[in-house]
Amino acid sequence: MRSSSLLFLLLLSFLVGVCDARVASPFRICAFNLQSFGESKSNKGDVMKTIVRIITRCDVCLLQEVRDSKQKALPKLLVDLNSHDTRHEYKAVASERLGRSEAYQEQYVFVYRADTVTVTGQYQYPDNRPGDVDAFAREPFVVRFKAPKTAIKEFALIPQHTTPTNTTKELDALYDVLQHVKKMWKIENVMLLGDFNAGCSYLPKKYRKNVRLITDETLHWLISDNDDTTVRATTTCAYDRIVVHGERFAKAVVPLSAKPFDFPTEYQLTEEQALDVSDHYPVEVLLRNTASKVSSSLLLILFLLLTFICS
């Protein structure tokens, strides 16, 4: 009796071990408006500690409002990321500095785990739409990624940080960017993400019928109007969004995984401490992993073995 129990426990442990080995963590894509991230913010130890903790949760993380004119903050961030999480290698790909004014310019930066994903293409979208040569204040910097362990395998990410006073126009223009990227790279798996300012007074309901990014039924808005992506207790707005194109990409998303990440609560920060990091929550979504299911035949064999021992 004891030997049977021992064998049962050993086999059960083996089954758990097999499941743990075969079930890989879902692939996490994030977007985070870092609110004027530059040399000054990068020199604040407590702030950088929180930023690093947030980014290292993600396989790919889009950063916005990177204002690193001296090109010191981003290299420091990468050093801190790789020191904090030695299980992965973090790299970054960045746009040129963007903005209509020399006095205020930003970069889009994608930080990614080089051991789980590779960059297979990048494209700086020119602001030269027919009849409208200045649609965006900060033109999208589009990056294509290959992630072999995900169900989707390869996808393109289109970032956008809209100008609050021009949100409707810029969101509608993003639809043209989407069509251009699909044709250029012959790809259907496309995600649009970032601080769209797509909430409250910046995107009134009466204007939404004029935004093709909203009216096209092939596009899935994963962050709802009822979500709050702001840190301040006095605001409740869904500014930051994630939008997926196509049914195949939508099916690769883990259900109900798209959400804002409430880092002040998670890391027990006061509102003042959190605002030193950013006035936005990051938004995130999980993609299914190809190793997310243990094979049914293996489970059947182990179940039969367990039944035999216990009989």
Residue 111, domain extent? 26-310
Sequence-distant (6+) residues with CB within 8 A of 249 are: 152, 155, 188, 189, 190, 191
Tell me how far apart the alpha carbons of residues 226 and 118 are, in angstroms, rounded to a whole number. Answer: 34
The reply to whether 117 falls in a domain is: yes
Tell me how far apart the alpha carbons of residues 194 and 29 are, in angstroms, rounded to a whole number. Answer: 11
* Domains identified in the chain, total number: 1
The reply to whether 225 falls in a domain is: yes
The reply to whether 242 falls in a domain is: yes
The reply to whether 107 falls in a domain is: yes
The reply to whether 40 falls in a domain is: yes
Which are the catalytic amino acids? 106, 161
Tell me how far apart the alpha carbons of residues 297 and 253 are, in angstroms, rounded to a whole number. Answer: 25
The reply to whether 288 falls in a domain is: yes
Residue 210: which CATH number?
3.60.10.10
The reply to whether 17 falls in a domain is: no
The reply to whether 8 falls in a domain is: no
Give the amino acid at 12: L
Position 212 scores a pLDDT of 97
Q: Mean pLDDT for each 10-residue chunk of the chain (311 residues)? A: 46 45 76 97 98 98 96 97 98 95 92 98 84 84 97 97 95 96 97 97 92 96 97 97 95 97 98 98 96 47 55 56
Position 310 scores a pLDDT of 53
